[in-house]
Structure 1
Amino acid sequence: MRFFVPPRATGRARLHPSLAIALAVAALHGANDAYAAFLHPLLPRIMDKLELSIADAAVLTATLGIAASLAQPVLGHLSDRKGRRLMIVLGPIVSGVFLSMIGLAPSFGILLGLLVLGGLGGAAFHPPAVALAARVTEGKGSGMRHAVFSFGGAVGYAAGPLIAVGLVMGVGLEGLWMAAIPVLLLGGALYRILPNALPETDPDAAPTLGVLALLAGPLGLLFGISAVSAFIQRLFLTMEPIVMAEAGRSEVTGAVALSLYLGAQALGTLSGGYLTDRVDRRQLLVGLTLLAFPAHFLAFWFPAGSAASLLFAIVAGFLNMAVLPPIVVIAQEIAPGRAGRNSGIVMGLAWATGSIAMLAAGAMGNVLGARAAALVASPLALLGTVFALGGGLDRHRRPPETTRSSS
């Protein structure tokens, strides 16, 4: 019989303190999310190459989002039982290899296949990575550790559009495959740094499919907030470059707008993580979701590429990602022994739901145009506020009391 040995009980744990592990995983997170951001700024170019409509573009972004999200609860459950290191390293490699090949796709169908394979790499990475980085069983500070992890991903996500457009401008769309080389080197370098101990699990926890019953409680409210946030983010990432192109703005301007939005999300994760450990979490979620609507609406309302539009894009990005640390930390505190599984639900399953909703926004874009569709859909952000006001979150307003171990 195999027993889990808590990291503090081994000499090896001193070589892998929580923050150091969070930093290593954050580096892989940055790589993984940089590749996930390649598609959006290249949409106008890909649409021209393959003669696609706005609805087709929405299908592409939804496919990537669903592939990167829907399998997360299952893969998180698997990592809780079998160990996390292999998935944490292989996920970004798979994501990087296939998403760097999208420029080679000769048809819509092959492009969809590459997006599915690349997305599955992200699905394998996120649940075990966030569980290892946050380590909620170690008590207060999990919000900040999660923020470090999320910051790495947000920085990568912000850099991705500029990397993709810069590389494509230099070597063409077909040369984008060269972007896969760095993640192969990074994965090999960090594999030995990450701990290989089995995660601490709860043998009495519900199976992965059975946990869906928990969506009737606080986990369901967190799921709802996360799904709405994911939809609003994907709405911006999909429509903004198309709005820029329709307004006659350059591909670089579109990439800059996305990078400003995503760069602000990096600051949002740090701020959200810091506040998660210090303020009333329910009030935090209510405030962030309430302000997200006007910020996103005004980012589309002002002329594309204008100073006002870019300013509100920054504010919108900050607010959109600041909700993630409290969502994930509360979800993990609900069942610490199934941190990977619960993370998969409030991230993966919720993000997939938000991606599916993008199909309707894309169809609306075909009829109304990208900008009008974005303005009509933006008020849906207020649904997040409705979920945040749910009484089921009352028990999770503050971090749980923990007993600190002397070091």
Structure 2
Amino acid sequence: MVPSSEEFSSLAKVEEVEDVHPLFVGPTSEVALYSAAGSVLKVEEVEKLFYLAVERGVKNEEAQKAIFLAVQSGMNANEVLSLAVRTGLKSEEEVHALLLQQLLASFDRRRKDSELFEWEHPPVIDRKKQDPRCPFFLFKMKASAKNAQVSWRQKKHARFPPERAGYTNALRVARLAAGPDGFHLEQAGEGGQPGAISGHADDKYMGRRRRKDGILECSSVQLREVAVIKRLPRGDGISIMSYVRGLGVKVHDILFMLHCYSITVAMTFTERWFYVSSRFTEEPLYARDGLDFIDITVTLENLIKKLYQMYEQEEQEKKIMREKQDHHETETLTRQQKELMLHQREEEERKKLEDLQKRRADSKKQKCQRKELKEAAHRMNEGTEEQHGHCEDTDDASFCSPIFQLQEESDWVEPSEEEL
């Protein structure tokens, strides 16, 4: 008898079935999986289910059903993929090869994609009359520098608006999904409409990039350098540039194709005060040898943490420099103020001394003038007295001149000192 779905609505009941009907063995596996998804499963339960499936050695078809049921329980397709790879239910190389194949088949049609071309270059006649028949959602890759989280923003546009100067190319984007047949790609925009991201062909990149093939630390897989992350010129974000043709890139559940050499996409930060330090030069990106596909979600988040640490360190150094400069300016200003006060004091002392010297000179000059006046008066008095005495001693008839006689006759009075 086949168990009903109500009896196996949780993972605990699925484990109880093992005693009677071995899970993932024979025809009961499909019933057990669908029964397990009868109610919404938690991440821990799905993880346990995947580990149990791996232990039982499920076949590929049954693994796809387990993935689909995990998505049906409410989990995001990207979370299910990460969990499937981590538990060993799915091989990362296998999934990436499948996604790259779908990208190459569906989204690497730069010259043949008539819808995307019409959205990029609408006919001149229709620009003012009507919108393109198939508008796109423009996707922008954003990141929080403080939280080190990458996210996607999307907005519907009738015509292609470049994200920034020079980014005049549009690249289709896809969204990761999971169904009964496993992981697949679908239109990224809402309502099944297409989406795109702005791209830029870097003319400065000349020739082929040197390739660094080899085994990295903590990895036994042969890897090669396929792309690089660089700082945007103004430091308001970073850019991802491909070194190979037809490179598939995955960030969370969004995928896009860098279809030629030197094609570049940008990622900006939500914090306007944040900037990428000029000390950051580049971060190489590696892919498995023979597979031009990279999942850079973890790499970006780790790089953002590193860039934020560099930003804080640089800001701290700037703060210390400003404090030193302020201290130096304060010392200079204090020294200048002291010198100015000393100069003012010296000027005041000099003026006081000059005033004192001037007053002394004026006083001395006045004193000399008074002395000269007194001496002149004294000499005049002495001369008058001598003349008067001389007239009295001589004989009036013999020695006094007619002038003095007339003066005596006219009662002449000797001038006083005040008159002199």
What TM bracket, shorter-length normalisation? under 0.3
Rg larger for? 2
Provide the TM-score with structure 1 as the length reference: 0.23
Query: Per residue, is there more strand in 1 or in 2?
Result: 2
Provide the TM-score with structure 2 as the length reference: 0.22
